[in-house]
Structure 1
């Protein structure tokens, strides 16, 4: 009897160890392997019969390689060598016209892959790296070695060098412009017309003699030097007929100041400096694009001055009459960055994409490679900034020799378009209040495969569409997030799927509408599954401007008598968190469950500027961060008061990065709405953030000071009434620790005493150590317990 009792006690202890009772901050913020480790890195075998992935079902230190056969459906471990052989060059190769051969880079060398007999042949074995390998129209292979282009003939095995890029300048040349194509032509024409010039040219040639053959050989070996000075060479491409080589030179900015982030906890015991980014408004690189015509042995610029609207000024300068007048007088071309060229299969036509560096314009242009001239196919103008999924060179390609596809927000949402370069016709293939988020053209170029949120802003499905348009056919059916990796033969879908309270798992499904998806992996731990994770209410409300705003609401299990509420503010600005799939903010999702367990109603809002909702939502914060994105939080609280019986006097909020910024703006400018807040790794002054992100939304501090003044919390710190907790990593190279130090000094000078700063000496922007996460969120929970329940 004693033995049986002991057995029951042991079994009970084991069961308790697999359960969460109750949910705690320590458990939520511990090493996230306790949840279970989801599969990642999905790669199909070249024969489309096996899918490979990385997985860690036993929660070891590192994930391992696994595979599953489409027939067995059972995952099994596999070593790297077997995986490499099976995958071959499937995800790296550029195929030839008949689809029998693939070519790719592996470890810096070029390999040829015969898809029919599944044989791999190594083509190079060099110390230098070979890259960007692809087939030309005649079946030869072009590739890049170091900075130069080479061509390999598979029939003769002969390799010839195509370009001769040279650092520096020609001897005796000081900032001399490259010869124009017109000047080169005139020189040759003069020699053809006049005998006297032929005679002079002949007199300057080396005397013929015993070394004639050697001279001819040297002449054959010589290549025109393409001098690039001290500029960075990039974007080297060759036309399918190997006549035109295009390239881009980047001039590094001068006079900019890189910031320094001190690292205090080091192995040496001394403070060490981390070199970090520049601040917004610092000088940026400039770009020049060139074409080298091998047939004429001449180099010339791509003529960006011909781009329509290249001198257009943004509307915001009207707020600064003096600046507007000065810029009108200068009448300068705006700087652009060209992507491409993208050649059609026959090599007869090339497309370039031009991005204005002020990001107000994006042009799709037809290139006349023989002259460098440009003609307009499509222009996207946005007085805020060009953006949205798939916009620009990310999703552009040829359907046939006359038609190419691209995406545009012209309708207000990012949709798919087809342009005919012969007729000039543009056709919109998808439409509606939803976004084409990912796009893939089938190998036979007859079908588009599309990931989009057509059903609901927070649900993604995989669709197919005829290249000529028509009905959009839905292929996936599970409600939530469906991230699809299509097999090489396009007969199978590997679906990375999750639901709002179920982390990601691998499913397999035939590429047919209505087909059933079969679950392959099961990653969540018993401990994780022992808690009943909430499916938050998915709601929408009208904000004060009449726009629909979507939100997740976690109703309190047993509301505290004060009926308190907490607003969670997601980060990044342009990010979506109100959706039916597992959140990338998994810790915050679990913390929101804990808050609901403890009597709080929690709301998580996809505020203005969040992704997934089209152009107007995306750009609604232009020139005023902390405007509509903040009032959406206030309007969300009003909805909670009306529909969830929340007491408006007991509302707090928290968030990190952009969410931390909104928390600061909320406590400084809406002190009667929010009693307390936790601001984590917050931007406090946008003039101290980076250029790429900030200049899109607020322009530049010296050009648009008004936008920075009304968007930066440090200017509104005087308005603080409630209790503020600030948390920041000291080695944050994204939002620098200096940001929060400057705000702290401002609060000290203002005589505020209802705030505290918690610092984390070893943490960057994204915290890593469980101890740091735990400390941070225990402080947040303590803040809400003390301020919202008193």
Structure 2
């Protein structure tokens, strides 16, 4: 997620970054003040590359929109030259579609699925109108309206999709539609897509998979009948409000019953598959053997994971891999089957997340990566040279680098810059990748590399943004560590540009602190960073500390908070605040903290349990009791309330409302389907009963992100800015002089 070099110097950096991977730039400041309007109208937004789709061979495609005509195209580009070589489809040539906003190729890239008219379901899901476009004949075929997750069969002869909670298959040869299931019902039975909690916490929507021979579809069925409903009033613009009602399993309550099924295309029959005892099926994936399905199961505590191989022909299953952890086992998307059906898997079983290679029977062949550092992304495997490509933090937990390594764990090589954030988008054949590099002082640079790590060309460098920001008064993030409660914690600090160590400044702490998260990272600015810098220039010091429970420093550091969410994280923020308050230039009587979601849970706890150091807190969309949150996320870290009553209650701010002494602003969206406004209302009740004064603002119908509608984010951050200025004694011209 910052700033000034003359453009010529910046260009020299771009040319030299291939060879000098430790290059840095100076950071200077201008005189203009950052405004909230500029932060939220996109003034500081960097240029980004459209999400590219890697194609067969050395090509990729992009979805482009003509700003004047609003027409959309799918265009084909060469990795080697980055030049457009063809327009595959243009919406102006289609009578059936005015414009489309999504596309997906079939395997041999002779057809496209084009989507339009999307309607939101939940945060990551939507339904829309979809067509198949034949690239050669230019024929357009309607698949359906208000459908979800349409997917080509590998042989390109069919498309499977869901509608109204049922699974369907359309034959593209004869137009016949086969209805695979017929019991789908809203808030009752779901076939082929996931329920709310799977979508939110296991991060997938499409719950059906074709096998490689296109003769089987495996799918999940969710029976939500016994899951409690949650309802929210939607104010809208009508005379009477409407209600959004959906199934939401809260901690300790009943989940949907999930079962695994297999549809045989040839016999038009479905059978239920057995994979032992489980609570969740968070992943299903076919192996390279067309008759072998791989199924991931978890127990309710999520500390016992099994990979099953299921024989599609006879329905038998066997455990191929089992992982257990005293706390929990993370779900990931790195499972990759190689040509011999051996597989790559990532695990933190040695204390850090690393890459492992197993044979087709689940026997460990090799631990590919090793060290006291974390693999943060697995990019793929090149079977031409037996190289594995990945991202890690082995150059420091605040940095990310792109690496290659042999499947045998030898010949490791860094392919990107060593410092800052590096994220790769590889071609299908792993011959090329587009690297996105940034630091806190360098905006995103998009560059083309070959698979050996040679930078071939800079695509976008955001030099204009860099030059634009040179006019503004800004300060760098100063990265360091702070030893708190026996641990070296990552920290950044932003000071005013005219910082004077002989004066005292109020301090605002920002954090999120959720399990495995990271806020202290050497990356380019997000909106919050510009806001923090704006506050700094008004006479404040802004600090962020990643305490225990956050990520990328090993299993033990992350999982120490198990069964005690809000204990050690809060202790670390309070102790860090007290330690920083001892610095000569910090005004110990004016220290605030803010956060959103988990960060709001934290900031609320901090002003209550740390009322001797924090004088002001802002909590946006906070959890106030983990009893109100969903089963999958909460029980992963806390087990159930029935099993861990003290863990839930001893760290719930609701139970400490009487400790409030300072200024507290509580903000929530009434349409938040994730962290329900119930959390805030229960906190309000506790504060009222304790006769504690506080400030409350509710954004009608806004969801967890509080962003929909004109000026919503601007309004929110204006309110928070005013609150901080009023309550932390911010004076940008005259910080308190140190006496004595």
User: TM-score, normalised to structure 2's length?
Assistant: 0.76
* Counterpart-to-counterpart distance in 1, 2:339 and 2:81: 39
Matches of 2:220 and 2:212, distance apart in 1: 18
Q: How does 1:584-599 map to 2 (within 5 A)?
A: 586-599=526-539
CA change 1:549–1:67 in 2 (3 A) is farther
| C-alpha separation in 1, matches of 2:84 and 2:520 | 32
Deviations 1:655-708 (A, max 9, x none): 222222111111111211222222222222222233332232223334432221
**Which of 105, 108, 112 in structure 1 is aligned with 2:113?**
105
Residue 361 of structure 1 corresponds to 304
Counterpart-to-counterpart distance in 2, 1:366 and 1:717: 51
Query: What per-residue deviation string (whole Å, max 9, x for no partner) do you get for residues 756-788 of structure 1?
Result: 224444644323322332122221232211799
The answer on whether the counterparts of 1:73 and 1:520 sit within 8 Å (CA) in structure 2 is no
Give the counterpart of 2:483 among 526, 542, 547: 542
| Larger Rg belongs to | 1
Structure 1 residues 339 and 592: alpha-carbon distance in aligned structure 2, compared to 1, 3 A threshold: closer
The 2-side partners of 1:279 and 1:252 are apart by: 9
Report which of the two has the higher share of helix: 1
Write the mapping of 1:159-558 to structure 2, written as runs, cut at 5 A.
Answer: 165-167=180-182, 232-233=191-192, 235-237=207-209, 239-240=211-212, 246-254=218-226, 256-263=228-235, 266-268=236-238, 270-275=240-245, 278=248, 280-281=250-251, 282-291=253-262, 301-305=272-276, 310=277, 334-337=278-281, 339-344=283-288, 346-347=289-290, 349-387=292-330, 391-392=331-332, 394-422=333-361, 424-442=363-381, 444=383, 446-477=386-417, 479-488=419-428, 490-515=430-455, 518-522=458-462, 524=465, 527-544=468-485, 546-556=486-496, 557-558=499-500
Match of residue 90, structure 2, among 67, 76, 81: 81
Q: 1:568 aligns with which of 504, 510, 521?
A: 510
TM-score (norm 1): 0.72
Once the two structures are overlaid, the 10-residue window that deviates more, 421-430 or 602-611, is 421-430
Call closer, same or farther: CA 1:251–1:482 in 2, change over 3 Å: same
Q: Does 2:527 match 1:577?
A: no
Contact 2:50–2:62 (Cα < 8 Å) also in 1: no
Range with greater deviation from structure 2 (518-527 or 590-599):
518-527
Relative to 1, partners in 2 of residues 1:737 and 1:237: Cα closer, same or farther, differing over 3 Å? closer
The question of whether the paired residues in 1 share the 8 Å contact of 2:71 and 2:91 is answered with: no
Larger proportion of strand: 2
Q: 1:517 to 1:609 in 2, by over 3 A?
A: farther
- Label 1:580 to 1:238 Cα distance change in 2 as closer, same or farther (>3 A): closer
**Larger deviation, residues 718-727 vs 563-572:** 563-572
Where do 1:82-161 residues align within 5 Å? 92-93=104-105, 95=107, 105-107=113-115, 108-110=130-132, 127=144, 131-135=150-154, 141=157, 143-144=159-160, 147-148=167-168
Contact 1:621–1:628 (Cα < 8 Å) also in 2:
yes
Change (3 A) 1:363 1:91: farther
Q: How many aligned residue pairs are there?
A: 655
CA distance in 1, matches of 2:422, 2:671: 36
**Paired position in structure 1 for 2:41:** 31
Matches of 1:366 and 1:714 in 2, distance apart?
A: 46
Could you give the per-residue CA deviations for residues 308-347 of structure 1, whole angstroms, max 9, x where no partner exists?
xx4xxxxxxxxxxxxxxxxxxxxxxx42326324222x43
1:771 aligns to 2:711 (yes or no): no
User: Is 1:698 matched with 2:638?
Assistant: yes
CA distance in 2, matches of 1:763, 1:145: 30
Q: CA deviation at 1:552?
A: 0.8
Q: 2:556 aligns with which of 616, 622, 630?
A: 616
Cα distance in 2 between the residues matched to 1:55 and 1:581? 29
Q: Distance in 2 between matches of 1:348 and 1:422?
A: 15
The C-alpha deviation readout for 1:493-514, integer Å capped at 9, x for no partner, is 2223322134434333333324
In structure 2, C-alpha distance between the alignment counterparts of 1:65 and 1:166, rounded to whole Å: 34
Counterparts of 1:657 and 1:480 in 2: how far apart (Å)? 26
Change (3 A) 1:747 1:453: same
Aligned counterparts of 1:529 and 1:67: Cα–Cα separation in 2? 36
Report 1 or 2 for greater relative contact order, CA contacts < 8 Å, sequence distance ≥ 6.
2
Q: Distance in 1 between matches of 2:357 and 2:649?
A: 42
Change in Cα spacing, 1:704 to 1:501, as seen in structure 2 (3 Å) is same
Contact 1:686 1:711 in 2 (8 A): no
- Gap runs ≥5 in structure 2: 1-28, 95-99, 116-129, 194-206
Farther-moved stretch of structure 1 (607-616 vs 289-298)? 289-298
Alignment check: 8 A CA contact 1:415 1:436 kept = yes
Partners of 2:612 and 2:662 in 1: how far apart? 8
Name stretches of at least 5 consecutive residues in structure 1 with no aligned partner: 1-18, 114-118, 170-228, 311-333
- Report the alpha carbon displacement of residue 73 of structure 1 after superposing the two structures with TM: 7.2
- Over the residues paired in the alignment, what is the CA RMSD in angstroms? 4.4
Using the TM superposition, give the Cα deviation of residue 536 of structure 1 relative to its aligned residue in structure 2, in angstroms: 1.4
How big is the shift at 1:629? 1.0
Whole-Å separation in 2 of the counterparts to 1:621 and 1:707:
10
